Structure 1
């Protein structure tokens, strides 16, 4: 039996969605975030040494990292679903976006989260302008331009095909859901990016996405 160790409001939601899309039997073990730090509880370290989510167990096998979990589930239980055929342009795009999601899209979004928290941090009033000034400068000079450049790139890509890998929905779209939901929540994914907005509407309309939300409980992008 596949067990998803599911941390609330986290990347594990898209693994749950993948399980629903594949129609697999699974069990959810739920973990709540620490209310002060918003970090995962120490109990997750009993599953994986880093104590982070997502992580799955499948019998004696433990797999962590979103992309690795996606590949494991497709290799082991996918029966050819949600992944283009090897050697095709679609498969190459699939692999690219599967890794782009965490390797390229998420770092500036995480930096924005960190600097937003720095901007809101309680500090002595006389250094507040300095802290805010540094955070604003980093955001203006580096973070925002990187996020907007990536959003333009992704929007352009989706103007050429309906899904990230090609004409068919794939697990690459599932993997891309978290950074684009984060961008919509934090980074102003607005009318400048109509293809991305349309893509988000289409993934949210999928029955398996709705089932995953019902199974996983509350899900919102933190920050």
Structure 2
């Protein structure tokens, strides 16, 4: 039995989604973020040394990292589904998107989250204007232009096919879903990029996505 060590409001939601798409049985062990720090609990370190989610166990295997988990589940249980055939140009494109999501696209979105928290964090009143000024400058000069560049790139790529790796829905779309949802939540994604917004509607309408949300519980990127 596959076990998903599932942290609320995290990337592990897309692992649940993939398992629903593949129709695989699985169980969930739930972990809650610290309400003050928003970090994962220390108990996750008993599963994996980094103490982060997602992590799955499958028999004697313990595996972390969203992309590695998606790759493993599709290779082992996909039976030809959810990924283009090996050795094809479509497979190379699929692999690219699988790595791009966390390797490039999430970095500026994570920085945006961190600098937003700096602006609202408790601090002495005489420091707050300085901190907010530095944060605002970093966001406007570096972070926000980077996010716009990635969103323009993603919008253009979706102009080539219905899904990111081609005209078939694949694990790459599951991997990129968190990026696009995070961009809508805090990265300025709106109707000015209609293809990305239509992509969000398509993934949110999938029955397996809805089942995963129901099983996974709170997922604040959708609120």
TM-score range, shorter chain: over 0.9
Which string of whole-angstrom CA distances, capped at 9 and with x for unpartnered residues, describes residues 17-59 of structure 1?
0000000011111111111211111111111011100000001
Query: If the length of structure 1 is used for normalisation, what is the TM-score?
Result: 0.97
Aligned 1:114-193 pairs, distance under 5 A? 114-193=114-193
3-state SS in 1 of match to 2:115: helix
Quote how far apart the aligned CAs of 1:68 are.
0.5
2:214 paired residue number: 214
Quote how far apart the aligned CAs of 1:129 are.
1.4
Query: If the length of structure 2 is used for normalisation, what is the TM-score?
Result: 0.97
Which string of whole-angstrom CA distances, capped at 9 and with x for unpartnered residues, describes residues 54-91 of structure 1?
00000110000000001110111111110001222211
Q: Which runs of 5+ in 2 are unaligned?
A: none
Following TM superposition, the consecutive aligned residue runs of length 4 or more in structure 1 with deviations greater than 4 angstroms are none
Give the Cα–Cα distance (whole angstroms) in 1 for the partners of residues 216 and 204 of structure 2. 15
Give the Cα–Cα distance (whole angstroms) in 2 for the partners of residues 173 and 197 of structure 1. 14
Which string of whole-angstrom CA distances, capped at 9 and with x for unpartnered residues, describes residues 73-112 of structure 1?
0111111110001222211110011001100110100000
Quote how far apart the aligned CAs of 1:122 are.
1.6
1:90 paired residue number: 90
3-state SS in 1 of match to 2:62: strand
3-state SS in 2 of match to 1:218: coil
1:80 paired residue number: 80
Give the Cα–Cα distance (whole angstroms) in 2 for the partners of residues 129 and 35 of structure 1. 26
84-93 or 98-107: bigger deviation: 84-93
119-128 or 104-113: bigger deviation: 119-128
Give the Cα–Cα distance (whole angstroms) in 1 for the partners of residues 177 and 189 of structure 2. 13
2:203 paired residue number: 203
1:66 paired residue number: 66
Give the Cα–Cα distance (whole angstroms) in 2 for the partners of residues 41 and 122 of structure 1. 22
1:13 paired residue number: 13
Quote how far apart the aligned CAs of 1:213 are.
0.4
Give the Cα–Cα distance (whole angstroms) in 1 for the partners of residues 39 and 128 of structure 2. 26
Which string of whole-angstrom CA distances, capped at 9 and with x for unpartnered residues, describes residues 168-197 of structure 1?
000000000001100000011012211000
| Residues paired across the two proteins, number | 222
RMSD: 1.0
1:57 paired residue number: 57
